[in-house]
Amino acid sequence: MKFHNLGLTLKLKKMAWFTNRQWMYQRTNSDGFVNMEYGTNVNLFLEFAYSKEGAIDKRVTKHGRVVYDIKCPCFKCQNVFYRSKATIRMHLLGNSFIDNYTKWHAHGETSMHDEGQSSTAMEVDDGDDDGYQRMVLDSMPPSDYNPTHHAHIFERTQFVIAKASTIYSTNVNE
């Protein structure tokens, strides 16, 4: 009887990372180093996310290698960009999770308490996009995109092109 209770206690403790998501926002300890529990739970999160077929983007590189990526839930990527498991681990250890990402909708979770289900919303691959959906998402600007700065660069580029065209047409006509 004692062993049975111990097993149940261990199982509940093991599931605590899944049901209590406070760990996601306790990345560092009091000394400023990455919290060991956070690192362990990031690994468990990645195992969970990669176990959900609907969350994985499978593609073949130009060299014929099959790559499995998921959306990166780090603070900088904001579940917009697809990344490898190793890259996401690095991002989460360095940047932490998106604020208030308590339901892992982009990683196959449909219910906070039902670990066994996979997502069908937003992650269904009906085969009609031919990879264009990912291309469009990957081409979107990052969350710190500054349109004013980029508009200035665009205007400056247009000015340089116009100036070069004027110089070229003047030299050609001479």
Look up residue 169 and give its two tokens.
């047409």
pLDDT for the residue 124: 42
* Same domain as 168, residue 97: no
For residue 116, give both structure tokens.
């066994």
- Domain span at residue 159 reads 148-174
Closest-CA residue to 95 (of 76, 80, 109): 76
Same domain, 17 and 96: yes
> 10 Å Cβ neighbour count for 84?
13
Specify the pLDDT at position 19.
Answer: 86
**118 and 138 share one domain:** yes
Same domain flag for 93 and 159: no
Say whether both 112 and 54 belong to one domain: yes
Residues 6+ apart with CB under 8 A from 137: 80, 81, 82
The ranges of the chain with pLDDT < 70 are 1-14, 111-174
pLDDT score, position 58: 93
Q: How far is CA 150 from CA 54, 76, 118, 142, in A?
A: 35, 19, 39, 13
Say what the pLDDT of residue 114 is.
45
Structural domains in the chain (count): 2
